[in-house]
Structure 1
């Protein structure tokens, strides 16, 4: 699969590089305290150590314009697409290690279905902060070539990716709701599909 760079113009439809913040302490704390499984990933919506940092308050005030936010992490060792998700807002990923992001346009999702041939891959160097737009389908990062895993801090509105609200399905999109502020489509080969997630990805379960 062709792997582009988040600094390439091709990434501009999916998001942008975020500057103007000092992430030095955040990345140091993440490397020291964040759990990192050798296989698979772990996701923590809000981490007390990260949320105690001054940069978290700055991000809440500036990046989200004063909205309540949460700062957690997605760490591990992953090589598969498995699923794609979206939120009703932008998301900020701050990479402590080199990673690969797999993304696709939400506009290509039709009736909850998407051909994985629409997915593109972008490399992110360690220390880079990447914003995903609301219209960007994304999921867990993939491990970069030659690396043994990754640590990525994840900033989202408070409550995102926590307990799914109880709803009565009234339309196609309601079928995709998987957690609070999290709409997800799964590949049939994924664990999420086995757990009951809506199977909407067809084609190759992309492996990096």
Structure 2
């Protein structure tokens, strides 16, 4: 595992300089999750923070955005996803990100080898921008404690698709939700929800 400050992280994103104190206070006040992963795309408490406006204007150039969170006790990769835009992750606790490159997807078969995944430790209070070509999924916990992570994306991302896919060919087979392309591992069971199974190799553990 590498630290987020390692130079190799620059291939996946960048560290943002923000004041995360009010965000951490808000997140730590929330009830314990006690599940592998819980994701809320939009959270009113987080969107009432001054940080919401700062991210909207300074990072997303005025786009409508959503400020939610991902929390839980996850220890596995399970899937990789990517968006057409950057994603901002803010660590309310220490956590681990599993990251890869979209360029390593074999689009002839829509498969990705998990050996390409790199693990990065993100200390509490750190905000990172993950570039659009960075494969990622739910963070993992550190030291057997529940992780809590803020997630900022363009508004509507990860919401149900408004209409059926026009085609199930090529990359369109990976489109799982609005602005969300996903490849799952056989252990994830996402195929039961219409997700595509295409991760080759072990289901990486933290």
Matched, 1:86 2:82: yes
How many angstroms does 1:171 deviate by? 3.7
Alignment check: 8 A CA contact 1:80 1:206 kept: yes
The structure 1 residue matched to 2:22, chosen from 22, 25, 30, is: 25
Distance 2:166 2:173 in 1: 9
The within-5 A match list for 1:23-172 is 23-33=20-30, 35-111=31-107, 112-144=110-142, 146-166=143-163, 167-169=165-167, 171-172=169-170
Alignment check: 8 A CA contact 2:35 2:72 kept: yes
Between Structure 1 and Structure 2, how many residues are aligned? 203
The verdict on how the C-alpha distance between 1:169 and 1:129 changes in structure 2, with shifts beyond 3 A counting, is: same
What does the per-residue CA deviation read over 1:52-103, in whole Å, with 9 as the maximum and x for residues that have no partner?
1111011101110111111000011100000000000000000011111001
Alignment check: 8 A CA contact 1:36 1:42 kept: no
Matched, 1:196 2:174: no
Alignment check: 8 A CA contact 1:36 1:151 kept: no
TM-score (norm 2): 0.95
Distance 1:114 1:170 in 2: 18
Alignment check: 8 A CA contact 2:176 2:194 kept: no
Q: Which runs of 5+ in 1 are unaligned?
A: none
Distance 1:65 1:113 in 2: 33
Q: Which runs of 5+ in 2 are unaligned?
A: none
How many angstroms does 1:170 deviate by? 5.8
Bigger mean CA deviation after superposition, 146-155 or 87-96? 146-155
What does the per-residue CA deviation read over 1:122-151, in whole Å, with 9 as the maximum and x for residues that have no partner?
10000100110000000000111x231111
Distance 2:32 2:112 in 1: 30
| 1:14 alignment counterpart | 12
The runs of at least 4 aligned residues of structure 1 exceeding 3 Å deviation read none
Distance 2:192 2:202 in 1: 17
Distance 2:170 2:46 in 1: 36
